[in-house]
Structure 1
Amino acid sequence: MLENIHSLNIKSASDLPLDKTFSLQLESLRGLSAIVVLFSHAFQAFIAPQDVTFYSIVRLLGQSAVMMFFILSGFLIGHSIQKNLLQNHTFSIRKYARQRFRRILPPFIFALCWMLLLYLLAPYCFATGSHDFELIPALMIRTAYDFSWVELLGSVFFVNEFLTPTLYANAPLWSLSYEVWFYVLAGLMAMWRYAFARAALVIVLIILSLLNLQFLVYFGVWLLAFAFSFDQVRRRLDVHALKIIQWIFGIFALCIAMYDAYQFFIIDQVKTYQANLFTLFNPCVGIVFAIFLLQLYQKQRTFTPFWVSSARFSYTLYVTHFPILLFIMGVFPQSYMHSIGLSIFSLTISMSICIAFAWLMAKFLEPQIKAIT
């Protein structure tokens, strides 16, 4: 695929169509994935301290949504690179970088500033009068609204999860760091004909993998979706074999989820929740999703688009919701939650606030973003 990426047998942009229905499906999946991540974190913030019955399932549901983000990204970046090659007769790294920066930076910079603002306000608004939350005898997603300047610096340069931890006050940024390096590696693949690009690709991939082996695993899944965007690859695929592979990895994911619940409830007895199984669960789910996306593209499966407009603020929602949830937790501590009904009400209101905020801010941060760019 890499050797042939510059010799695509296409004559115009119309030869790289994304069917309207398929585009709407992608938009819907992107928006709904962001909302699922929001639900997962809101559940951990407001429901889990009261009732942990579905805690394990909801955590894995959030992880699955992030993997859907990676799959959508891989497929769409592959499509975007092909359009770039077609329109410029060679790969324009400047255009590619400009598109990626325009997509990533405005919401990301805003999210960091927003997080810092809420951090400054926390001692004046939290029930504890500090950055700490009330201590309660149950699991919480965080014990304080806090971060370190090392974490902030690492996030600014997208080396969190490699050289520094991810921001304590904005956990979802772990995947954004991965995403940016996926873009870098994809750009180098697009310049495969150049020796320096091949060398840089190998060096960068080795360094990142040595720093964080999980990155290599997730990049493999992202690369699968990237490959599926190429007609040369799709023509060589065995449809029936893919269905079998999809079932196998789907069963693996289910077994891992069952063991994860067993570990949480029986082994750890609801005292702690470990993330050691994520690196096994996530790639299994990612492969299932990648094949599902290919099946949607080839119209072998159907998916009715739902709330397509949510894609317009999905990225802003993803990078801003976590600090908002933490702030609400500090202002309205768990001692205020006298029943599971009130906790569900808090979850609903908090999710609504996060969505409304992202919808409003995205008008300024994501005004011209389309799913296929």
Structure 2
Amino acid sequence: MRYARLDLVRGGSALIVVAEHLRNATMVDFQRASQSPAWIKGFYFVTGLGHQAVVVFFVLSGFFVGGAALKAGIQFQWTTYLSARLSRLWTVLIPCLLLTYVVDNVVWATAPSVLDGAFAETWHSAPQSGAYDASLATAVGNLLFLQTIVVPVYGSNGPLWSLANEFWYYMLFPLMAMAAAKIGERPTVMRRLACALLAVLVLCFIPFSMLSGYMVWLLGLAVFAARRELVAFMACHFRAAAAGLFGLFAACLVLSRLRIIPGVAWGLPDLLLGSAFAAVCAVLIVPGAQHAAESRFDQFSSALAQLSYTLYLSHFPLVMLIGAEFYRNERMPANGASVLVFTGWLVLLLCVCWALWWLFERNTSVVRQYVDLLVGQVSAARRRSRI
């Protein structure tokens, strides 16, 4: 079952992340725009919600990926699960690492100070001084989702940090669920103990910041697990619940954006925001009446959601290129003309990312078929060798 509203949120969240990075690289900081009209301040507020959008991503990932593993139940198999996950991750990640390599080399040739950290303070998202690393070892580490654990993110592609989080959450939940005998076909005691041990090792291996994010990820899984009960409840109390929950989420969003909630080191602001959005998901998964407009909405939401992964993984080197080539000396002021130019850049980024999606991500199912075929051939060869 597709959830069109969640698809729209997923695609919109990726767009907000791109918008924040692009605005940081092309327009002056909010402090220099404090005397601007209210709509400009609203523009800065919305385009400053990139971190909050990533929190929303984690909740949605728990709902969709964790939910798929939970739904598989006794039919869950690691080979099928890993084939699906790795095919999706690597089909986009490998081309985006190559894109980062190419773009970074262009920036090295024309504006090396960008990668040396000269703009880290003004752009807020450029590589830090002395932190840039585009070595082969770092590329391999990023392919194995070890960035922020063993190696840094590859090159200028800072958003890769969250991909390591996602991957280890993908590993943790099935291990914990199999240890608890919630998925998999009648796991033996030894297999459950092995899964529990592996889960403990993963928990000890990943940094604490990932653990706080995992709690947010599990909130999405909890919504999936209780989706039938939540939909039944919302059918009776939809208007009142929707108004209250959206109001709560908006309040948490503002508090998080203004950095008012304490406990950042422990991930408390993200946990509160994730809890509020998870509650909103209970509203968003309620089926709506189907009509022509709803069908067009579904198509738009699906298209935006399909682009979100490629958009998230590929946009940052391109943003760096725009900033390096056009805005090193002075970023645009906060006014309507600048917002129009910003919009033009954003549309261009969307077009480039759509081309990358068309070349790579849309073929994920084909890649997965090849992976499944290869796994099947390896398994068959092992069985023959045992005879």
Does the 8 A contact of 2:311 with 2:350 survive in 1? yes
Does the 8 A contact of 1:163 with 1:211 survive in 2? no
Find the counterpart in structure 1 of residue 378 from structure 2.
none
TM-score computed with the length of structure 1 as normaliser: 0.74
Distance 1:45 1:294, change over 3 A: same
Give 2:96's match in structure 1, choosing from 70, 91, 111.
111
Q: CA deviation at 1:132?
A: 4.9
Distance 1:133 1:350 in 2: 23
Aligned length: 335
The yes-or-no answer on 1:47 pairing with 2:33 is no
Does the 8 A contact of 1:250 with 1:284 survive in 2? no
Find the counterpart in structure 2 of residue 360 from structure 1.
355
Find the counterpart in structure 1 of residue 312 from structure 2.
318
RMSD: 4.0
Q: CA deviation at 1:69?
A: 1.3
Distance 1:251 1:140, change over 3 A: closer
- The gaps in structure 2 that reach 5 residues or longer are 35-40, 182-186, 289-293, 369-387
Distance 1:184 1:278 in 2: 22
Find the counterpart in structure 2 of residue 271 from structure 1.
none
Find the counterpart in structure 1 of residue 75 from structure 2.
90
Deviations 1:237-282 (A, max 9, x none): 9879x98898777655544543459x9xxxxxxxxxxx95693322
The yes-or-no answer on 1:329 pairing with 2:323 is yes
Q: Percent identity?
A: 23
Distance 1:279 1:58 in 2: 22
Distance 1:197 1:115, change over 3 A: farther
Give 1:290's match in structure 2, choosing from 262, 271, 278.
278
Deviations 1:131-152 (A, max 9, x none): 5587698454216794343543
Give 1:204's match in structure 2, choosing from 186, 196, 199.
199
Between 181-190 and 30-39, the greater mean CA deviation after superposition: 181-190
Find the counterpart in structure 1 of residue 385 from structure 2.
none
Distance 1:61 1:197, change over 3 A: farther
Which secondary structure state, in structure 1, belongs to the residue aligned with residue 49 of structure 2?
Answer: helix
Map 1:219-258 to 2 at 5 A: 219-231=214-226, 234=229, 251=251, 254-258=254-258
Distance 1:355 1:297, change over 3 A: same
Does the 8 A contact of 2:22 with 2:346 survive in 1? yes
Give 2:106's match in structure 1, choosing from 121, 138, 144.
121
TM-score computed with the length of structure 2 as normaliser: 0.71
Does the 8 A contact of 1:321 with 1:354 survive in 2? yes
Deviations 1:89-141 (A, max 9, x none): 52222111111112111101111011011122223344x69855876984542
Distance 2:211 2:249 in 1: 18
Deviations 1:148-183 (A, max 9, x none): 435434322212222333335111111111111111
Distance 1:258 1:154 in 2: 34
Map 1:1-373 to 2 at 5 A: 18=1, 23-49=3-29, 51=32, 53=34, 57=45, 61-85=49-73, 90-126=75-111, 131-132=115-116, 138-142=122-126, 146-149=132-135, 151-167=138-154, 169-192=156-179, 193=181, 194=187, 195=189, 196-201=191-196, 203-205=198-200, 207-208=202-203, 211-231=206-226, 234=229, 251=251, 254-260=254-260, 276=264, 279-298=267-286, 307-308=300-301, 309-335=303-329, 337=331, 339-341=333-335, 343-367=338-362
Distance 1:66 1:197, change over 3 A: farther
Distance 2:3 2:139 in 1: 35
Does the 8 A contact of 2:52 with 2:256 survive in 1? no
Give the residue type in structure 2 aligned to 1:258. Answer: L
Give the residue type in structure 1 aligned to 2:151. Answer: T
Distance 1:250 1:114 in 2: 36
- The gaps in structure 1 that reach 5 residues or longer are 1-17, 264-274
Distance 1:258 1:202, change over 3 A: farther
Give the residue type in structure 1 aligned to 2:324. Answer: G
Distance 1:324 1:139 in 2: 14
Distance 1:28 1:182 in 2: 23
Between 228-237 and 157-166, the greater mean CA deviation after superposition: 228-237
Distance 1:131 1:246, change over 3 A: closer
Distance 1:93 1:27 in 2: 26
Give the residue type in structure 2 aligned to 1:147. Answer: D
Distance 2:357 2:278 in 1: 27
Structure with greater proportional helix content: 2
Q: CA deviation at 1:72?
A: 1.4
Q: CA deviation at 1:187?
A: 2.5
Distance 2:267 2:44 in 1: 15
Distance 1:344 1:320 in 2: 22
Between 332-341 and 283-292, the greater mean CA deviation after superposition: 332-341
Does the 8 A contact of 1:78 with 1:226 survive in 2? yes
